[in-house]
Chains A and B, each alone.
Chain A
Amino acid sequence: ADMDAKQQLKVKLSLLATYQANFTQTVVDIENTLLQQASGRIVLQQPNKLYWELFEPNESVLLADGDNIWNVDPFLEQVVVNSADVALDNNPLILLTNPDSSKWQEFTVSQSDNQFIITPLELNGGIESLRLVFNGDLLVELESQDGQQQKSVLSFSDIKQNKPLPANTFIFVMPEGYELDDQR
């Protein structure tokens, strides 16, 4: 039951040393009202490295480099940085890049054929469930749901799994003229 689902998911995730894809993001509220539609790009690398970019007109970047989480906000020309372990606490997204982390004990996993649903044992705001949809070993969709039952669905395209990544993919560079809001 749960153990097999978590084990199976960990096996699938361990195959993803790196993951890159473009995505369309659709965000709906509990009444299925469309709140936001965006396109972007995601890059994952084990362990604990995540690059998440939304393209124009929602341009912003979230970069987890293993130590810190950098939030680049071109609209305000500002970067907000938090330490990674603070943000990781119950954000399953980054956990995807760490199949053998002990943090998995804080989550339950259920499976129905090619879909896995990750749920934190302790719900304290932020993401309350993460649904991964696989097509064979290919991760094709990621849906997160928060405490307000607001859903964000990412549909992936141009998927590359286990391809080498440019060395600077997860190196944060402070954009020219931006302010830093250091919350570490």
Chain B
Amino acid sequence: MNYPNPFADAIDYQRMEQHYDQEALDSLNAISPMTRTQQPIVTGTSVLAVKYKDGIMMTTDCLASYGSLARFRNVERMLKVGDSTIIGASGDISDFQYITYLMDKLMTKEYNANNGQPLAPENIYEYLSQVMYQRRNKFDPLWNALVVGGFQDGKSFLGYVNLRGTTYQSETIATGYGAYIAQPLLRNAVEKRNGEPLTEEEAKKLLDDCMRVLFYRDARSLNKLQRATVTAAGVNISEPYSLETEWAFAENIRGYGA
């Protein structure tokens, strides 16, 4: 005798279900999980800053690169916050624009509080470093290295904070490629003075010299830069300007394809 299997339907159904599940799984696999910023896209290169006699001097160039493409050539990478603070940014430009928005929000709040006590550079620095640190703890960092310069009540302030929330304050600060090339030059110039502060002219020349070297060697730099000062007179960001360069020596370079 050949009896029918009483569970045939159930087994068929189970197979169907299994088939359905597999399909669902496949379709789920096709959707990639949500990701956070894992690399910068449009980037700015070095920020240089020094303390000098009257306050802080900072320079950046005006380039926002898309990988190795010089994508945007007229970008301001320094931001005035309040009357005595400036923020210089390297790294992801869109994240910097978000920070610009945050600072604007913060200053609007301060304006409305109207408490006659403006935020000091130290306060803005602390706020920024906490934002950066909290975002790194969410594994969603703001991909920047920021330099905060300020001058208030006769005191200079110069601090650094990066995408991990790491902070330090120093007489000279350089980010990105500048940390390799300009920082030694800056430290050398400052330490040579044995505690005697740089004059405005000296600081200008020092930063220009460093930016020139960076323009020669940093392939993501541009000979169009801005200089900012923070002094008792307030924050001043210059119009873009260029440096004198000398390329005649390039004729004599041999090797590496030349």
Do the two chains bind? no
Give chain B's interface residues, CB within 8 Å of chain A.
none
